[in-house]
Amino acid sequence: MPSRSNIRRLLAVAALGSSGVLSTSLGAQVSAATGVSALMQRQTNDPWQSSTRLDPTLRLDGRWFQMTTAATLLGGSNRAVRMDDGSIDFLAAPAAVGPFRLTTTGRVEWQSVSPFAQHTSGTIESDLSMRVGNWGGWFGVAAEHTREIDSARVEPLARFGIWRQFENVTLSLSREAHSTFNKSVIGGRGDTLNNSGARTLDWTSTEARVSWALKGVYFDTRFGIQPKLGTTTPQAYWGSGSATVPLNSRLSVVAAAGNQPALAWTGAAAKRFASLGLRVSPAALMHPAPPANVRPNASAFSLSPIGHADYVVSMRVPSARAVEISGDFNGWKPVALRETRPNVWETTLTLRPGTYHMNVRVNGDSWTAPPGLPAANDDFNGTVGLVVIR
């Protein structure tokens, strides 16, 4: 397993980056995190194996974009460290037009399917989403390719999903079409033989996800169905769950367990896993990121005096990456809030006695009145929230 000195170095780097207040010229925040955990996993009917798992993550969060790079490093009993998987994710979401928004995401992933084989895959997707209040949906097209496996041109694939927000709970359901070209996959429903002799394996997967916060503990669960693939992989049901318990503003305990189905097109076997460890991170990286097309709303808003004319603005927003407030208190210039604990965003404003108009914006989406405030029409056919300071 990795030496204690190496683990301490990783935790120190994460602690420096976990302040979450490093800002770029683009107005984005840079956050870093590292998790160290004990991992138990079992492939098919093999014995359970233990290892030490390290999960360094670096993320850039902006109003209309997000970029994340992450890796999983495993250390075994022979003290060797290897990368089990890694990824680079990018999301771009320009300003919404009414209830609609166009989102483009990209992902490059490296995954070890055995100690001697690694696959590199890429996905790009463009979706049109719609939000009405606390629910919404999306539909789009995607293309995916695995360098070591696919042997034909990339075909467009359909993706769609729906989501619903209930204060601290977010539910989503999605279906994704997949296609791969692999000479090693033979027979099976949905297969066709192309001119090069490779098998075209087409299938659609379904995933349901529920994320919620309860008394400071963050839960994330996923369930999915994978259909029968080829002649060797039967229909499979899979699920995983994690619980994050913050110990303070930077350190949390993370427990996770679940199973993964076999991947016929890569040769990866089905496996089960369980892990328990510590994570050093800012609040933004304490819990898993939500699906890219979920467009959350603020579910609570409060103003708390902390001194003469100074107030802490606090908003609860499930699964957000950027939260802003604007108003006539500063000429409607957007002010970025900081996630001080999971799902809770805060900033400090100086407000003299009087009546103020305010709006909030989540993930660069449309401006809306803060929840719980009296609303009034503004001069641009929108609504604003009214705040009275006495």
List of residues 6+ apart from 380 with CB closer than 8 A: none
Q: Based on the domain organization, do 79 and 143 belong to the same domain?
A: yes
Residues 262 and 324 reside in one and the same domain: no
- What percent of the chain shows pLDDT beyond 70? 80
Question: Could you report the per-residue pLDDT of 221-275, keeping only the tens digit for each?
Answer: 999 998 887 666 778 899 999 999 999 888 999 999 999 887 765 667 788 999 9
Residue 15: the pLDDT is 47
pTM given for the model? 0.82
Domain contains 294 = no
Residue at a domain's end among 254, 285, 316: 285
> Is residue 190 a part of any domain in this protein?
yes
Determine, yes or no, domain membership for 59: yes
pLDDT at 45: 78
Residue 321 domain flag: yes
Please indicate, yes or no, whether residues 115 and 164 belong to a single structural domain of this protein: yes
At 146, the pLDDT band (50, 70, 90 cuts) reads: confident
| One domain for residues 260 and 362 | no
Residue with tokens 């994340």: 68
Q: Are residues 132 and 258 in the same domain?
A: yes
- Report the distance separating Cα 64 and Cα 52, nearest Å: 36
Q: Report how far residue 104's alpha carbon sits from residue 373's, in angstroms, rounded to the nearest whole number.
A: 33
- Are 204 and 340 in a shared domain? no
CATH of the domain at 57: 2.40.160.40
pLDDT, one tens digit per residue, over 53-70 is 999 999 998 888 899 999
Domain that holds residue 260: 4-285
Q: Has residue 336 got a pLDDT over 80? A: yes
Same domain, 248 and 350: no
CA distances to 57, 81, 254, 354 from 48, rounded to whole Å, are 27, 19, 20, 65
| Position 182 pLDDT exceeds 60 | no
CATH label of the domain that carries residue 334: 2.60.40.10
pLDDT in tens, 79-91: 677 888 899 999 9
Q: Are 49 and 118 members of one domain? A: yes
pLDDT tens, residue by residue, 294-321: 999 999 999 999 988 899 999 999 888 8
Phi, psi of 352 (to 5 degrees): -80, 160
In a domain, 293, yes or no: no
Mean pLDDT of 339-350: 90
Residues 270 and 241 in one domain: yes
As a whole number of Å, the CA-based R_g of the chain is 23
Point out the domain boundary residue: 260, 285, 310: 285
Tens-digit pLDDT profile for residues 7-38: 454 444 444 444 444 554 455 788 899 999 99
Residue 279: pLDDT above 50? yes
Instruction: With cut-offs at 50, 70 and 90, classify the pLDDT of residue 156.
Output: confident
Same domain? 238 vs 304? no
Q: Please check whether residue 280 lies inside any domain of the structure.
A: yes
Confidence at 151, pLDDT banded by 50, 70, 90: low
- pLDDT band for 379, please (50, 70, 90 cuts): low
Q: How far is residue 33's CA from residue 361's CA, in Å, rounded to a whole number?
A: 26
Q: What is the pLDDT of residue 79?
A: 62
Lowest mean pLDDT among 81-95, 147-161, 271-285: 147-161
Does 327 map to a domain? yes
Q: Do residues 153 and 125 both lie within one domain?
A: yes
Statement: residue 344 has pLDDT above 80: yes
The answer to whether 287 and 275 have CB atoms below 8 angstroms apart is no
State the Cα–Cα distance between residues 67 and 91, nearest whole angstrom.
6
For residue 89, the model assigns a pLDDT of: 96
Phi and psi dihedrals of 287, rounded to 5?
A: -125, 160
**What does DSSP assign to residue 289?**
P
Q: Which of 232, 246, 137, 152 is closest to 189 using CA atoms?
A: 232
Contact between 176 and 331 (Cβ < 8 Å): no
- Looking at the fold, whether 261 and 343 belong to one and the same domain comes out as no
Report if residue 167 sits inside a domain.
yes
Say how many domains are in the chain: 2
Tokens of 121: 């895959």
The partner residues of 23 in beta bridges, in order of sequence, read 29
Among 242, 262, 285, the domain boundary falls at 285
75-84, 86-95, 129-138: the lowest-pLDDT one: 75-84
pLDDT at 187: 42
